[in-house]
């Protein structure tokens, strides 16, 4: 899967491989930041993803990394309570915000970094975890849309 330079989707001028220094998106308690994201840019400053599969790949890779963070189990139909694997209920409140950073590399472009900032809760047993993996997973999709908008990517891809 090589990177093919294609004309800018906005103005049809030639593009070159570049990187976007830092762009962030938020959804609920999750903040997603991409640093050094590869992009195709034209002389007018318009940007586009480096490959048609890049954004889907980025979404999947980010979800996989986020899923490696321990998470509590939600119980209750209407009023959710979150329980540690030890059985204790997690404390309420906003939680302590932590950033989890990881490096990614899409084939044919320089590597870049993704940071997930989210609330972590400490159980009485000492285990630190997310309240809900599902909430964070949903937040990644919405945050990624925000990242793409702030990067200036056209909606048509």
120-130 pLDDT, tens per residue? 999 999 999 99
Nearest 10 degrees: Cα torsion 50, 54, 59, 63: -110
Q: List pLDDT tens digits, range 52-82.
A: 999 999 999 999 998 888 899 988 888 889 9
Q: What is the pTM of this model?
A: 0.88
Q: How confident is the model at residue 157 (pLDDT cuts 50, 70, 90)?
A: very low
Q: Do the domain assignments include residue 127?
A: yes
Q: By residue range, what is the domain housing residue 99?
A: 22-35+58-150
Q: Do the domain assignments include residue 103?
A: yes
Half-sphere exposure (Cβ direction) of 118: Cα atoms closer than 13 Å = 28
Q: Do the domain assignments include residue 49?
A: no
Q: Do the domain assignments include residue 140?
A: yes
Alpha-carbon distance of 90 to 108, in angstroms, equals 44
């Amino acid at each position: 899967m090589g990177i093919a330079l294609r004309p800018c989707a906005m103005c049809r001028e030639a593009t070159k491989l570049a990187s976007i220094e830092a762009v962030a998106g938020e959804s609920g308690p999750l903040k997603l930041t991409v640093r050094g994201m590869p992009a195709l840019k034209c002389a007018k400053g318009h940007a586009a993803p480096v490959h048609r599969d890049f954004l889907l790949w980025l979404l999947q890779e980010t979800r996989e990394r986020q899923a490696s963070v321990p998470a509590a189990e939600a119980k209750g139909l209407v009023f959710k309570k979150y329980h540690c694997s030890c059985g204790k209920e997690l404390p309420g409140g906003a939680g302590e915000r932590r950033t989890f950073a990881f490096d990614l590399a899409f084939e044919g472009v320089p590597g870049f970094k993704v940071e997930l900032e989210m609330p972590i809760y400490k159980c009485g047993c000492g285990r630190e975890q997310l309240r809900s993996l599902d909430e964070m997973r949903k937040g990644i999709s919405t945050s990624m849309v925000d990242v793409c908008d702030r990067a200036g990517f056209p909606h048509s891809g």
